[in-house]
Chain A
Amino acid sequence: MRRILLGLAMAVSVSTAALAADRWVHIKVEDGGVNGEVVRVNVPLSLAEKVLPAINTKELHGGKVKCNDTKIEEVDLRAILDAVRAAPDNEFVTVESKHNHVRVAKSAGNLLVKVQESKKSEKVKHGTVDVSIPFSVIDALLSGAKDELDVLAAVRALGTIGDTVLVTVNDENSKVRIWVDSRNTTE
């Protein structure tokens, strides 16, 4: 009996560990054009985590992207992030113009960016962009040197969060959705 219980406990712990490890990032792009193209990409985070350090190009090295833009270096992103994190849930920036409505807010540990196209333009008509990034992921992304983004750390952090929709783009021509969950298919 003891053996059976021990076996059951081991099976449960192994399957739980496997479930925790199997996190997938999904990208779905629907083009509303003449071709009506739909692209679905499913990538296991574990694969991205292992592959990233092995890619060494000019920009990406050891899972980190070098930002040589002096404008980025001049802005202390970490200080801004610390200030935002310490603040209560709120709307921080609202920009309303003739064509756009931009909102940057903090809600339930996530940084939210919402962009709404309020008037028809030539390229994009009535488009909306919603970005929701957990602070843990942003922290990880900015955990490297001042002039670099630690993509690998961000991917690791994505693996620890629950099922989340990260990016949604909707306009008359296309729909884009990027999300993380534990399924290996988009549907």
Chain B
Amino acid sequence: MPTGPVMVAGGAGTLALAAVVVGGAFVYDMGVVRVSVQSKKPDGEHIRLIVPAVAAPIAMQFAPKRELQKAIEEAGPYLPAIKIALEELAKCPDGPFVQVTNRHEKVNIAKQGDALVIDVDDEGETVHVSVPLKAVDVVISQLQSLPPPGREERAERPSSPDGPAL
């Protein structure tokens, strides 16, 4: 029967494995963001981007605070509505929500499985974006948890030795 250091190493290994399994399950559960941009020019590029959706909230940590504050200022009043809309969208059957077609382009916004899918097909390129609803929900929650505009600026401003100016 293993004793001492062997047992500790075994325990640490099990913990690490559990962390990897739990982390993997979380990443899998959040899904992936897919972006595809295909140029229609003869030598046009095809850019494909597949990013685990879990990266979106992490990337927000590195986003400039001022830009995030600006986003909250503009979208703040609508964030609760967007959050509720996402919950309801998850319950909706797959299908198109908005379709715009004209001589120059086709735009389609639809729900496919657990993702919101945006397709744009114009004269220059074809764009496909697929974002898991859960990822958008997490991003919205993060935006909601940020302090409202103005409060943070006041908190960051060094206080005057004479006390706050009235």
| Residues of A in contact with B (beta carbons under 8 Å apart) | 22, 31, 34-44, 46-47, 50-51, 54-57, 184-186
Give me 20 other A-B pairs in contact (C-beta within 8 A), A36-B102, A40-B99, A42-B95 excluded.
A22-B93, A35-B103, A37-B101, A38-B101, A39-B99, A39-B101, A40-B96, A42-B96, A43-B97, A44-B92, A46-B88, A47-B92, A51-B81, A54-B81, A55-B77, A55-B78, A57-B77, A184-B92, A184-B93, A186-B99
Alpha-carbon distance A22/B93, docked complex (angstroms): 9
- Give chain A's interface secondary structure class: mixed
B99 CB to closest chain A CB (Å) equals 4
Known: A42-B95, A55-B78, A185-B96. A47 touches B103 (CB 8 A): no
Residues of B within 8 A of A50 (CB): 84-85, 87-88
Alpha-carbon distance A22/B91, docked complex (angstroms): 10
Residues of B within 8 A of A37 (CB): 100-102
B98 at the interface (CB under 8 A from A): yes
Q: Which of these, A31, A35, A40, A57, contacts B104 with CB under 8 Å?
A: A35
A156 CB to closest chain B CB (Å) equals 15
Residues of A within 8 A of B95 (CB): 42, 184-185
B89 at the interface (CB under 8 A from A): yes
B23 at the interface (CB under 8 A from A): no
Minimal Cβ-Cβ distance residue in B for A37: B102
Asked if B96 contacts A55 (CB within 8 A), the reply is no
B156 CB to closest chain A CB (Å) equals 29
Asked if B85 contacts A51 (CB within 8 A), the reply is yes
Alpha-carbon distance A39/B101, docked complex (angstroms): 6
Residues of B within 8 A of A31 (CB): 102
B80 at the interface (CB under 8 A from A): yes
Alpha-carbon distance A39/B99, docked complex (angstroms): 6
Alpha-carbon distance A47/B93, docked complex (angstroms): 12
Asked if B104 contacts A47 (CB within 8 A), the reply is no
Residues of A within 8 A of B83 (CB): 54
Alpha-carbon distance A40/B101, docked complex (angstroms): 9
A187 CB to closest chain B CB (Å) equals 10
Residues of A within 8 A of B81 (CB): 51, 54-55
A-B residue pairs in contact (CB < 8 Å), sample of 26: A31-B102, A34-B103, A35-B102, A37-B100, A38-B99, A38-B100, A38-B101, A39-B99, A40-B96, A40-B98, A41-B97, A42-B96, A42-B97, A42-B98, A43-B97, A44-B88, A44-B92, A47-B89, A50-B84, A54-B80, A54-B81, A55-B77, A55-B78, A55-B81, A184-B92, A186-B99
